Each structure stands twice: as structure tokens, then as C-alpha cells.
Amino acid sequence: MPELYAEILLPRKMHGSSDVLTYALPAEKTEDFQEGQLVEIPLRNGKIRGVIWNIHDRKPAFRTKPIDRIVGNSIHLNSRQIALAKHIAAYYICPLHKVIKLFFPATAFTRKKSLEEIPPLEKDNFREADLQLTSEQISALEKIKKSTKSTILLHGVTGSGKTEIYRRLTLDAIKAGQQVLMLVPEISLTPQTVKNFEKQFGKNIAVIHSKLSAKKKSNYLYNIYRSNIQIIIGSRSAIFAPFQNLGLIIIDEEHEDSYKQDQAPRYHTREIAEKICALADETQNENQRAGIDAPENSLKPRIKLILGSATPSIESYYKAKSGEYELVEMPSRIPQLDHPDALPRIHLIDLRDELKKKNYSIFSELLQVKIAANLARKQQTILFLNRRGAASAVICRDCGHVEACPDCETSLTYHSRISVENSILPSQRLICHHCGKIQPIPKTCRNCQSSLIKYIGLGTQKIEEEVTKLFPTARVLRADKDTTKKHGDFEDIYNAFHNHEADILIGTQMIGKGLHLPQVTLVGIVLADTTLTIPDFRSGEKTFQLLTQVAGRSGREKPGEVIIQTYLPDHYAVQSTLRHDYIGFYQNELINREENHYPPFNKLIKLTIEDTDAQKAYFHSHQLFQELEQTKSELHSTGTNLVDQINVFPALLPKLRGKYRWQILLGGSNPQQFLKNFSYLKPLRSDIKIDVDPLHTI
């Protein structure tokens, strides 16, 4: 038998262009080694762990050391997971040493003791479904079960009962002996999801998110690998758990930005889930060709992917309407006995009219009246503003100087109270919401020494102060990043509000993520324009989604109302929200996307060039831009049209955390292929970040 060698992939950057090191397989134990195994190897004077990436019989030109051992009680990758890792590296233009870290817990590459096993989930631990389904839910469930497509878009309005559909599908998968992955945007913001599943399926559920301890996460992943756990609920990183028999993936609120990773590799969870389904189907087809699997299974996808949302992303709905996904729609809320027409009534307030009436309060007259009436009825109110703090800027009334962060060159936000050692203290400070820098309030202007300092704009703290003045007896809670710094903080706020220990909840976008609050009958959106004015192609989509989701917290079990305050009442995103009209919004948005060559009609890649020196950032970005333009022209002359637009521009935040930033946006049919082996992959003095399929162009 010829001598065999293994290419070992390490979770760190190597010298040179290779991601792997070559080692010999011990001759007496060759058959024990397989691709995907975690092994320990000698390196210099120590030992290090890596993954067997390839096994071959090509003798290298240099002397090789043998692998020390296979790491026991550890996760090992199968062929589909290796294929997925290679896909991520190629598609998201990211080195494999960064990709491989996604598939293992942090402790896997350290020399820790063996992990603990969790007992397998016993089938008699879970109950049959006990809720009566509506005819709409029954129809949706049957269509999902009969679909021959791998991906199903479940488009159901808020309160239509999507969660019960998820639970029925989960029960079927568990009975078939399959594993189920339920993904939520942020695990800490959806506490009732875990409770709903635990109520039916018991406590033996893995809940995976970034705030778990390394040991607990490692134990969960190892027991998923051993098939001891069948149900996994988690945030985006859970998509890489080592499933052995995955049958169902559910991505709830699939439109949420948090499903996109903001560090390399900058993957989107939805795209990864689709690739997992495709790889499983390829394996099934190979098995059928080899006579291992029954032919009748060819009509059934190996893994089903359910994308659920009341406000699907434009790309997902476009794929569904084009036939790539199965489209399942639930346009009605589950009717309640006292109000069968369950969607809340929406009032639109033009804030320009309020100014004409000499109302200078942050609350319109109608919103003040409705809050007072709701308090009198002992019902609950949500007040939403997607900006925290007490004021958005501090400005000198003499010279116009605005206090800015020295590292980010963006205006500092005034906070009348800040969190100090787990307590909220009345300590006035200026805070940068990008890098976290905290500064004292200046007594005089740093530019002209004037003492005429003014706070402008508003945030959630300011709303809380105004509510307390107008309604002094109201019990008020606030949910934003300042009040939810620790894991469990938001769950405490949610539980307190759910138990009616407060009358009014003030918050940012975290309060619009799928929360079921039966006593909320009034939602006030204090200013709907905070996302509309952002110069980005998704600003209309994000505004519509945010307004619709927040409005959907009202009237879940009792008649509800929503008041939207805006300076832009005629914008189609606002008007579509007013009419509960997703289809109308989608049609308007699609026209804009097609005219401007944005997704889903084009693919985008965003390059961000950063440097601590402003001139170097400018020089390197424009030099790269010229090289890209030249390559585009050369390819066009040969009839190859991979990209049709390349633009260079300063980032919306031109300086962030001490670095100056320029961006290059490429759009076309295949910008990844265009960038393949391009010169920007070589080391440059400036940092370059690559974002494939960016959520934002700013």
C-alpha cells in the first residue's frame, strides 16, 4: 500500500499562499484517518490541532512529520460539511482558515478535556399538538407537506399563526427521527419561542447563541453531533451545528438583518441554508444512482427549508413569485372572539400639521389622547423610536459646532442617564454609538468657547422623560441597548411587561421582533422617518418592514390601534404600511430595483478600504478602482460582461474607530468571478473588507 499524506487545515493564517500543511499518515493506522477529522499535529516545538482536508498519495518534495493522533470525543466533518466550507470560501471570497472556525466550537482547537454527553431525547417527552388550526393554517400546512421544492416561503401577516405551523412541522420531523433547526434573529429577543417549544417538546432542546459559555456551547454541539439532541433553536451561527440527520430548517423573520454576518466570512444564513439543502439533495441523488435509496424519495427534498415572515425580503418574495421557492401565504390573523377582524387600525399623523397647530410636543395630540385612554382602560401601550439616547446631537447655538467622536467623526449622542456597574445612573454623558466612546458634557463650546450649548433631536431616553411628565402615574419600561447590556436583561423586561407590571414599553427595533403581548392595544411610532432618510437602496424596504412589524404588536387578542407620526406621509413605504399592503409595497419597490439595477436583478459586492491615514485610504481605494475599471473594459472587449457598474465613494461614516473608509461597489451578473484571482487579494498596506451580497451599499 502506498504511503499516504494528509493536508491539514489550521484555523489560522499560514505564511505564503497555502491554507494547509502536509503531514504523513502513520503507516500502522492509515485506515483510521478520514477527511474532516480533527487531529493533533506537531508544529515547531509544540502541538496544534487542525482538520484533515485532503488525503492523497503524492509524496511531497520535503520531509514530512506524522500526525500525532485523532482527537477523541470531538466533532468531525462529513463530506457535505467539507463541501459547504469550500462553497463559503469561494462564494464569499474568504480564506479557508477563517471559514473552518464556523464549524467547530472555540474549544475544539485548544487541548481541553473530553466533553459531556446529554442523554438522548426520549420520544415520550413531547406532547401532540393541542391547538385547533384555522382553515388557513390547515391549507398552508398541507401545501408545505406536499411541496416538492426544498425552500418554502411562508408569508403570513403578524398574528396569523406561523409559530404553530413551525411546531407541527417540527413534530412530524421528530417522529421521523430527524433533527430540526429553528433559527430566530436574536435568541435573547425572542424568549417566548423557546418557551413555546419547551412546552410541547420538553427541556432537552439545544439553545445556541453567542452569549453561551464556551463549555456549554461545546457540549451542545458535541451532543448534536452524537444525535442526542433533535431540536436546536439558535441565532445565525447555529446553521453550522454538526447535524447528522437534519430534516427541517426554519428561519423565522427571514427578512431580518441579523441573519447576515458582519465579519469575514460575511455570509447570509438564508444562502447557507439553501446550500445545505442543495448538498443534501445531491447526496440523495448519488445514493439513488448507486441503488442505496428508494426511487420514490427522489420527489421529496432531503431537507426542507421554511422561510417565515410577515414582511419577506424583496429577494425572497421575488424567488417565490418566480417559482424558485414554494409560496405559501396566510393573509389573515387568527380571529379572536371579540374582534374577528384582527388587524389593527392605523392612523397616520403628518407632523407638519402638528407644528401648524402649535403642538411642539414629540407626541401628536391624537397619540396623547389615545395613551391616556389606554391607561384608563388598564391596557398596554408600546412607543417605538429606532434611536436611543436623549438627544441625537449637541450643538453650539453661536457657531454651530457639533460635538463629534474623535475616532469616528460622527456626532455624539446625549444620554441623560447611563448604565454604570449594572445600574442606571443619572449621569449626563455624550456617547458614540459606533465605537462606544464616552465623554463628559462640555460646559463651553470647544470651537468658540460659548456657553450656549443646545441638545437637538430625540431618542428613547427623551421619550421616557416626556412620558413621565405627561403621565406621572404610568409604569414605564424602556428596552434598548442601554437597558439590555447583559444576557437575560431583555427577557426580564419582556416578562415584566407580559405580566402587566408596566403600562408603557418604550423601545427601539428590538421590541418589534415577533413578541406576543396580548394586552397591547396601542402602538405609537414616534417618528417613522429615521430609516427613510438613509441614502441606501434598502431604506424603503427596511422602513416598511420595521413599521409593519412594530405595528403588528398591537391588537393580538383585543382590538388594536397604531399611530404613525411622520414628516413623509406620502412615501409609498408609509402608505403601504397604512393599508397593510405588502403586495403594493413589493410592486413599487421592484420597479425601483429594476430601474437602478439592484438585487434581485443584479448581484453586488462591496469592498471597504480602510486606513489610519486619510490620504492612503483615498489613494489605495482609487488605485484599486482604476484597476477594476481597466479589467472591466478588457473583459467587455472580449464579450465577457461579468460586471456592468463599478463606483467608488466615501463610506457614510468616513471615519470609524480611528480608520478612514472608502468603498467600491461592483454590480453585475457575476462579480465573484470578476474578482477571482484579482490583485486586491494580494497583501496591501490598507485593510480591505469584502462583502458579497451586502445588505447595504453605504
Report pLDDT digits (tens) over 433-488: 667 778 888 888 888 888 887 665 678 888 999 999 999 999 999 998 888 878 78
Quickly name the fold that domain 603-692 has: Alpha-Beta Plaits (3.30.70)
The pLDDT value recorded for residue 422 is 44
CATH number belonging to domain 5-103? 3.40.1440.60
Encoded amino acid at 286, one letter:
E
Q: Given the C-alpha cell 498519495, which residue does it identify? A: 57
Quickly name the fold that domain 337-389+459-597 has: Rossmann fold (3.40.50)
Looking at the DSSP bridge assignments, the partners of residue 39 are: 50, 70
* pLDDT digit string, tens, across residues 599-647: 999 999 999 999 999 999 999 999 999 989 998 998 899 988 999 999 9
End-to-end Cα distance, the chain: 58
For the record, the C-alpha cell of 368 comes out as: 396623547
The pLDDT value recorded for residue 295 is 57
User: Which positions of the chain have pLDDT values less than 50?
Assistant: 337, 420-426, 681, 683
Please return the burial class of 132, using the count of CB atoms within 10 Å of its CB with bins 0-12, 13-18 and 19+: exposed
Query: Which phi and psi (to 5°) does residue 285 adopt?
Result: -65, -40
The pLDDT value recorded for residue 209 is 82
For the record, the C-alpha cell of 519 comes out as: 394586552
Q: Does CATH place domain 123-330 in 3.40.50.300?
A: yes
For the record, the C-alpha cell of 596 comes out as: 437602478
Distance of CA 197 to the CA centre of its chain: 21
User: What DSSP letter does each residue of 210-279 carry, written as one string?
Assistant: TTS-HHHHHHHHHHHHTT---EEEESGGGGGS--SSEEEEEEETTT-GGGB-SSSS--BHHHHHHHHHHH
For the record, the C-alpha cell of 528 comes out as: 417613522
Domain residue spans of the chain:
5-103, 123-330, 337-389+459-597, 391-457, 603-692
Q: Given the C-alpha cell 431525547, which residue does it identify? A: 121
Domains 5-103 and 337-389+459-597 share a fold: no
Nearest to 560 by CA among 329, 336, 376: 336
CA-based Rg of the chain, rounded to a whole angstrom?
27
User: What DSSP letter does each residue of 31-99 carry, written as one string?
Assistant: GG--TT-EEEEEETTEEEEEEEEEEE----SS--PBP-EEPSSS----HHHHHHHHHHHHHTT--HHHH
The pLDDT value recorded for residue 203 is 78
Helix segments in 120-161, DSSP class H: 135-146
* pLDDT digit string, tens, across residues 406-431: 887 777 777 766 554 444 444 577 87
